[in-house]
Amino acid sequence: MSLRGGLCVALSALGLVACAPEVVRRPTQLTSVAEQAKDTIEIGETVPVSVGPGYRRVIRRGSLWTRIGRSVEGEVFKPVDGVFTVEGAQIHEAYLVLAGDRLVGFYLPVERAFAPVGDGKEIRLSIRRRPP
C-alpha cells in the first residue's frame, strides 16, 4: 500500500473522509417527457444500493418515483415527496436510471451527468407501474 493509501485508510478509520474520491460520472443528456406522459413507479421491496465509493443508500419499499425523461442510459425517475442523494467526496442530488426494471445508475440533475451503480452491477428492482 502506498503512503497516500495508508494515510487515507488511517484518516478514514478516524472518521475523516476527505480522501473519498469523487462519484464516478459522465455527462449525459436528459430528454424530458411530456407532463401527461409522466407515469409513476412504486418500489415493491427495500433495496440497499452502493451509490459511491464506500457509501450506501436504501431505496425504500413503497417509495414513489415519477418518470421525468430518458437519457441514453435509460429511463430517469425522480422521487415523489422525497429526496435521494449519492455520495463520494461530495453529495449530489440524484434520480434513478432504470433499464426496464434494472437499476443501472443515477442521474445527477445539477451536474447533468450519469453515475453508474457503485459496484458496476445492475440491480433488479421490484416495481409496480402506475399509469400517468
Neighbours of 73 (CB within 10 A): 18
Distance separating alpha carbons of residues 91 and 93, to the nearest angstrom: 7
| Contact characters 74-93, another protein, x per CB under 8 A | -----x-xxx-x---xxxxx
Closest CA to 74 of 35, 39, 30, 112: 30
Give yes or no for residue 34 binding another protein (CB under 8 A): no
Task: Identify which of residues 68 and 103 has a Cβ nearer to another protein in the complex.
Answer: 68
Give yes or no for residue 15 binding another protein (CB under 8 A): yes
Give yes or no for residue 108 binding another protein (CB under 8 A): yes
Query: Residues binding another protein: what is the number (CB under 8 A)?
Result: 20
